[in-house]
Amino acid sequence: MLKGIKMDNAIAALKAVSVLSFFVAIGFVALKTGYVKKETGSYLAHTVTRLIMPIWIIATLLSKNVTIDQILERKALFFTGVISCLLLLCVGLLVSKIFKIEDRRKYVLLPLLFTTNSIFAGMPICELMFGDSGVLSCTILSFGCEIVIWTVGIFVVTYGANKLRPDEQKIKIPVPAVTIVYVICFILKFCGVSLPTVLSPAFSAIGGCIAYIAMMFLGMSLATIKFKTAFKDKMSYFFLLAKCFIIPLVVNIVLKLLNFMPDSYIDVATVIFAVSPGISMTMFYKEYDLDYSFGSSMTFACVILNIITVPLIIFITELIPL
């Protein structure tokens, strides 16, 4: 069981974010100075999402140290991920209608609001703060989020793209490998299958690199973004305020008021919803000719702000008398 967040966990979060930021800086400098080619970021992204991430999921869920009881014990986190993402989607639809946001931006704003960078940012922070127990809790919550992101989320983005190109060939909804691996691993786990002992160390070692490789990818991505074009309207600032502060605070307060899960799980949920939107969605914004400049700039602006906002959110939630 996770330990509840203490006041000094804000410092722990700051340390975790600082360590990860160091690798973001490495990726940023490497690309900016020409030490690595621009294509390196794409290669890293494909390597992480298609190889390292599935290996990491297998190593985590099929570990002999992770029992079915531990997974079932955290089922509330799974439903929290699903319901929270769906509610945020509804909020996004309402905001888009009220402010009459044009479609190219609307279908970027929606996934920006309800997707979470749980794997690339939330997971490493939880691991450094809470250890293996935090990783498992984050994995279960992330599974709920990923199901919504890679079904409803990708449908929303694809629908928006098709709506903007009625005379062109419709875009097919992709089937993400990560979600497939999640589902297969859960099925195997409940069938009593675990990773063979001889493979476990190798899988764990490879999967353990995901946080740092992912951070270098983020750094390389930051080096290619032109932020000036995305900060010309008030929507950018409203979004950053909502994503980095309002959403995680509301999630924390609502979960505490509902009181249906331990505080330790609420801590993990707070971290996950405090981090940036899903990084992988930015690839679809560009491919589908949506407002890529806004989507990518807001995503990576959140990454930068998280250095300050994640520890600050954790500190603030400790002061809330609930």
Q: Is 8 left (phi over 0), alpha (psi -120 to 50) or beta?
A: alpha
Provide the whole-model pTM: 0.78
Find out whether 126 and 268 touch, Cβ atoms under 8 Å. yes
Q: How far is it, in rounded angstroms, from Cα 286 to Cα 272?
A: 25
Q: How far is it, in rounded angstroms, from Cα 322 to Cα 4?
A: 14
pLDDT at 4: 46
Q: What is the pLDDT along the chain (322 residues), one digit of tens a residue?
A: 444 445 566 677 777 777 777 888 898 899 999 999 888 877 777 777 678 878 888 887 888 877 888 888 888 998 999 999 999 999 998 998 888 888 888 888 988 998 887 776 787 778 777 777 788 888 889 878 877 887 788 788 888 878 877 665 666 766 667 778 878 988 898 888 888 888 888 988 887 787 688 778 778 877 877 766 666 778 888 999 999 999 999 999 999 999 888 888 998 999 999 988 877 677 677 767 788 778 878 887 888 888 889 888 988 887 777 6
Nearest one of 17, 260, 205, 221 to 122, comparing CA atoms = 17
Nearest one of 145, 119, 113 to 20, comparing CA atoms = 119
Nearest one of 54, 55, 43, 48 to 212, comparing CA atoms = 48
On the CB side of 122, how many CA atoms lie within 13 Å of its CA?
32
CATH number of 9-309: 1.20.1530
Domain boundaries defined on the chain? 9-309
Burial 204-237 (b: 16+ CB within 10 A, else e): beebeebbbbbbbbbbbbbbebeeeebeeeebbe
pLDDT at 276: 85
> What backbone torsions phi and psi does residue 191 show, to the nearest 5 degrees?
-95, 5
Distance of CA 39 to the CA centre of its chain: 23
- Lookup: tokens for 317: 């939630």
